[in-house]
Amino acid sequence: MFVGGMLLGSLAAPAVARAQANMSNSTEMEKPLSPTIRRNISSFRTHHWQDYFSNTRNGAILVDINSRALHFWSEDQTIYRLYPTSVPETDDLTRKGRTEVVKKVDGPSWRPTPAMKQRNPDWPDFIGPGPDNPLGTHALYLSWAYYRIHGTQDTRKIGRRSSNGCIGLYNEHIAELFGMANVGTQVLLI
């Protein structure tokens, strides 16, 4: 699929194809939905950087909480990527607005925030890098305290409202984004 003269990477294509196949083989719209069923969906909708940023200096990341997708544009605008994400579980955990990448960590360690520890007192105080780490393989730290764009070992979370505030990506997607984003990349959560 061409978007703005660029080929939309194969990263989003499988999810789009699955969604289209599910829609064509389903009578889901004809049945009332139970409020207890949680859907693992992401509505991929492309955005144009000009609608959200005045420039793409240092690159630009747009996180669309409603569509559960992260958009990345390189500084020279030759690269555009669209990734499915996990987003915060509730509106009170969601922060929206402008921030930037202030640190990049390959193999991050994890500590629950004080609010997370209060909600989940049995959680460990620390998890080092590795397969049990909730931040996955890479993390982009934002200028907001405790907020990250990171990978996840639990791929069931992607496409869902499932995080405690952060934006989660498949590990292979955060690894790719990690290689393209810089300290100083502008970030907007809408």
- Which positions are catalytic? 150, 166
Helix/strand number for the chain, H first, E second: 3, 12
Taking the CB of residue 16, how many other CB atoms lie within 10 A of it? 16
In the chain, where do the E strands start and end?
2-3, 6-7, 60-64, 69-73, 80-84, 87-88, 97-106, 138-142, 148-152, 161-163, 167-170, 186-189
Q: Do the bridges between strand 186-189 and strand 97-106 make them parallel or antiparallel, or are there none, so unpaired? A: antiparallel
3-state secondary structure of 165: coil
Closest CA to 179 of 127, 101, 122, 125: 101
